[in-house]
Chain A
């Protein structure tokens, strides 16, 4: 029977997806012109947000068409509809770009099921958000618009079509919370749900990843993928892998994931951009103890303590690295002549001394790392969380241990490495949602081909913003902040005091203690119950001190009556390195049309305005401030923030570029991870 005949009888042609072993997108070979074209295209695409948002609207009436039918069905009938829809969805998703007609009934079904199982119905704006994600975009939705619920629409529709779905969150708590809250819905639809958490063993993970919808954090997922890749990499070519499946040589039992099909990234900007500055590395103990020895580290550390900044070495502005100056290398040459072993070799000597200098001058206890149980533990720059199982490479970890007077641990060796950029670009279909995407639109498109769709709020945003207050000194700023907090506390309004780092949080806590204001601090040492603390930040008279990342994704529920009294007060004690992070903090109040107020307290001595690179904006700001032109001074700070954003953007671009070159450079060693 010919194709035409099939169509004429109204039977949709069933197109089976091409079977793939471990689905993932091939790394694109981008030439220079591709990259240039992409950058140009990005600036066009990012300007078309309103157009894209408008085109999404068709899904709402289309879904409503089925509402009556779904409402009329009994639970059992609804579940049968779910089973029936699977086939249509599978066909629709074959191309990866489903149409409105195919997805609308699924959305209507999930909407109805959610009302029956969870008790809430998806808003229209959530339909828009989910539809944007089905189309492979980033849905920009304000905080409190119910992103977790919104994700279920897209996740269920994709899962019903047979696509394994990964819902990616920023921390374990959110993964667990999201999965648990939504499990009844998924179960009703006949879908299985799993949550990947830190500490799970291989077999558990394998089973979880086999489920329809998996909630996990970006780190766990990427590491699991990286471990899989270490296996897959040795079997080149998809065809070969499939043949091996048939001949029984399959390595399937060694793999955790089923492939990278469809990912919904919550807080897309922080996962895809902020965390993309450092690659993920799996390392192991060096098998043989050849190479670097403890004596070398100790000699280098001793030498490094004698070197002076400015004379022997310098730290370039804006960059976290050490540059040895000529007098420094001369001094080291002299030391090297007297030294023994590897220290005599110039390259090794200078390298280890540079590491020692980095440990001494660039890494500070309480900021980059903490000491716990006589061990150096790395503190994540963004979350403020302690990363117990991580260590720095190339002897830096050992140098920090030496600096703290500890016995150096044996160095570890890289076994596998991947950048987030490469990892997420491998997803066959990638989507995301966040509250603050527009500032990152250009980068999201040029790196991940993710367009942004602005989703309107369900209820209008009625937050109020106080004018930025600027102080000459850090001390004056903190006095003003504590006074303000005390005042708000007296009015028994809830206050969230956002700080830049864990150390700043502790400082603020100390000051509040002196005034006798009861408060809660979210810091690295309390990560187990941070969601609980942040969840209670909306109670009357509660003062919470937190870094911007702490407890992200957790809704701050307001106590009854608080909304009438002005809602949650968010106080920014400093500007962050990027405007987006400031906006994330500001987004903590005013959820779902609640009231809220944001105030920023800044000083000319803020971290942002320190260092050589900030010299120009700092001087300008000081002059403006002296003449009472506070607005202009605040604008200088924003200018400086933009500078830093630029620097970080460039660092990510460098990483991406070097990642691209790596493929060619390391072609000899086979495929990349």
Chain B
């Protein structure tokens, strides 16, 4: 429905003689080379942006000329793009709704009352709609600011800026130097109880100074600041200040400074705190300063400075790229694109009013949408973990605002909007097809599904070769390779044992001779010697056995591995010490640590298993899961699987052994089906558990369920 030039309702307004009311001020601003006018309402503190043509009409409203005259004049002046009558009526009705104009006819009291109550209701609804950011006005700081503004005036000069740069630069430099100390064990230091108290003290203080920054910045250039209050952001009280008068500033630079003042103040605070932290003795003061640095440096940049949230960063960005009202208009632009190109609705009004806005609008629409979803869910989950019932209610509320409201609006547009008349079928088919495709892709299109986990090569005890007697290595016969039963693997020698044997043999000879000499003479003596001979014979037998044990032979056929064989000659092994391994294929196992989220899947739905040794990722080896029930415990099979060794599991920092984990881990045993070219035991391997094919949607649902299970222990 194109807007026609003339309006059937024009006769109603044509004879009106309106005048602008006293509390209205108009400011001229330039955005992207175009002139716009900002109508400021000093009563409500609201702004209305109007086009030059509208501005002409508004400016000419003196209570003497009729609207017809004004319109004709505007048409003459703006010959190329004259304002249509409907546009003028719309403008007039907006001005009237905002109480900016007075007419020459008596006001309709009933209508005014209705309008007022409607505005109140809308304000109320706006609060309800956003329970995560409730605002409560506290007092009017204007007089206070006026009285104290001289104090801060020096800061808003070139010298002030230089000083700020210097301070922040120094702070940054110090922070960089002490980076390791600053970040060491960060989580532990921040999340302790006493630190919580310090944060609770520092946070409001820093934020209050932040807000004062905005207020003074606005004040310096003649703005008015009439509202300071407390906002409950995600239930945490934060001060806020209404510095919106700054949007009337004609200079872009000043608007940006007002917007950025808060962040700048916080950064300065953080820099100062860094200096104190570096130079002061460790104690409560440094701990406090540390928190100031944390709030002023980190949280400000990521929170206030983030243009995707509607805080300082957003307003700075708007002014920086000269696209006022970026958020709303980017949404509009997105819908404009959908309507024009996807649905083919003609004559949709594009919110783009200047060159180069398109890219920004589209970019912002998409990124902020996803960011909003992300942050809503994150915040809701956070609250829900703290206060379950309130949190869940809030979460449902927030999520329905982000998801359901747009969906409901979309549906309403689909079925009711007059814009789609004649195109409803096309729109419905298009929406249904795209939704269908999405559903199909999510829930019907099978996608290979596998879990990849880290494991270590592991052995059964009987595969370990141990030295059977103490000795020095004389020769390594088989370093690695197949052996048959009885084949020598390693020879040890024990010089002491050899000489002992010789001595024993000599003593035996001696004793035997002595026995022969006394045998017939002295029976008692002979028996004594006989006993001694028996003793030495036993000793000899033992020595022989030991020397035999020095030669390590394969007890069964298999595959031998003697690690570090080349350095082994002359090395001493005690009895029972591990010398090498004799592997049967049945002995080789992999111990795989699996996250508890995946454990159920790995246990219940594993088809094939593939093992890739970390050393050689190109040759997968097939394997299967052992039938043993996996163990669930907060321990890793090997420190090699911890984060410090490049694995996935974070270790408990208090554990000295380096195997205890923070979360529970499932240990699975995997048995390779083919010989595994293992080079050493404890070697890391990637193990891929194949779960066949599954559409992505089900996976998503599963992760969601697990997320809930984990978050709420339900």
Contacts and interface: CB of A to CB of B under 8 A. Distances in A.
Contact of A417 (B9, B16, B106): B9
Contacts of A68: none
Given A316-B422, A345-B75, A347-B82, A668 B11 contact: no
Interface in A596-646: none
B10 A667 contact: no
Nearest to A417: B8
B657 interface: no
Which residue among A316, A416, A665, A671 has the maximum number of chain B CB atoms within 10 Å of its CB?
A665
Nearest to A346: B80
A323 interface: yes
B90 to A, nearest CB: 7
A347 B82 CA distance: 7
Given A316-B422, A347-B84, A654-B418, A667 B108 contact: yes
A317 B93 contact: no
Interface string B540-577: 00000000000000000000000000000000000000
Contacts of B109: 236-237
11 contacts: A345-B75, A347-B84, A351-B4, A414-B8, A665-B9, A666-B9, A666-B13, A667-B115, A668-B93, A668-B95, A670-B108
B105 A669 contact: yes
Contact of B103 (A317, A346, A348, A668): A668
Given A346-B80, A417-B8, A667 B105 contact: no
A665 B87 CA distance: 11
A29 interface: yes
B509 interface: no
A29 B112 CA distance: 13
A258 interface: no
B267 interface: no
B341 interface: no
B96 A668 contact: yes
Interface string B165-201: 0000000000000000000000000000000000000
B522 interface: no
Interface string A385-402: 000000001100000000
A281 to B, nearest CB: 8
A323 B95 CA distance: 32
Contacts of A393: 8
Interface in A459-486: none
Interface in A540-590: none
B79 A344 contact: yes
Interface size band for A: 35 or more
A344 B93 CA distance: 29
Contacts of B110: 237
Contact of B13 (A323, A654, A664, A669): A669
Contacts of B81: 346-347
Contacts of A347: 5, 81-82, 84
A330 interface: no
A234 B96 contact: no
Contacts of B80: 345-346
A316 B111 CA distance: 39
Interface string A309-344: 000000011110001000000000000000000001
Contacts of B10: 414
A20 to B, nearest CB: 15
Contacts of A323: 2, 346
B167 to A, nearest CB: 54
B123 interface: no
A662 interface: yes
A413 interface: yes
A35 B434 CA distance: 32
A667 B84 contact: no
B524 to A, nearest CB: 126
Contacts of B92: 668
Given A665-B9, A666-B93, 6 more contacts: A236-B109, A394-B8, A667-B115, A669-B12, A669-B105, A671-B108
A234 B103 CA distance: 13
A275 B340 CA distance: 35
Nearest to B10: A414
A558 to B, nearest CB: 47
Which residue among B9, B72, B90, B109 has the maximum number of chain A CB atoms within 10 Å of its CB?
B9
B82 A415 contact: no
Contact of A414 (B2, B11, B346): B11
Interface in A427-459: none
Given A29-B114, A236-B106, A317-B422, A667 B97 contact: yes
B101 interface: yes
Contact of B6 (A237, A318, A319, A394): A394
Contact of B82 (A348, A664, A671): A348
B8 A668 contact: no
Nearest to B92: A668
Contacts of B346: 323
A413 B110 CA distance: 30
A516 interface: no
A394 B9 CA distance: 12
A290 interface: yes
A378 B72 CA distance: 31
Contact of A413 (B11, B79, B421): B11
A413 B80 CA distance: 25
A394 B422 CA distance: 26
Contacts of B101: 668
Given A236-B108, A345-B82, A347-B82, A669 B103 contact: yes
Contacts of A291: 72
Interface in B1-46: 2, 4-6, 8-13, 16, 18
A344 B97 CA distance: 35
A668 B18 contact: yes
A354 B93 CA distance: 28
B89 interface: yes
Interface in B109-134: 109-111, 114-115
A351 B6 CA distance: 8
A670 B115 CA distance: 13
Contacts of B11: 413-417
8 closest A-B pairs by beta carbon, nearest first, are: A668-B96, A351-B5, A414-B11, A669-B12, A347-B5, A665-B93, A667-B111, A666-B12
B285 to A, nearest CB: 59
B20 to A, nearest CB: 13
Nearest to B89: A665
Interface string B328-340: 0000000000000
A654 B421 CA distance: 12
Nearest to A316: B422
Nearest to A283: B11
Contact of A662 (B9, B106, B111): B9
Contacts of B4: 351, 354, 394
Interface in A254-296: 281, 290-291
Contacts of A414: 8, 10-11
B72 A290 contact: yes
A357 to B, nearest CB: 13
Nearest to A325: B346
A393 B79 CA distance: 24
Contacts of B108: 236, 667, 670-671
A665 B90 contact: yes
Contacts of A234: 105
Nearest to B80: A346
A347 B84 CA distance: 8
Nearest to A613: B422
B6 to A, nearest CB: 5
Contacts of A654: 418
A673 B101 CA distance: 22
A667 B97 CA distance: 8
Nearest to A394: B6
Nearest to A291: B72
Nearest to A292: B6
A662 B84 CA distance: 17
A666 B89 contact: yes
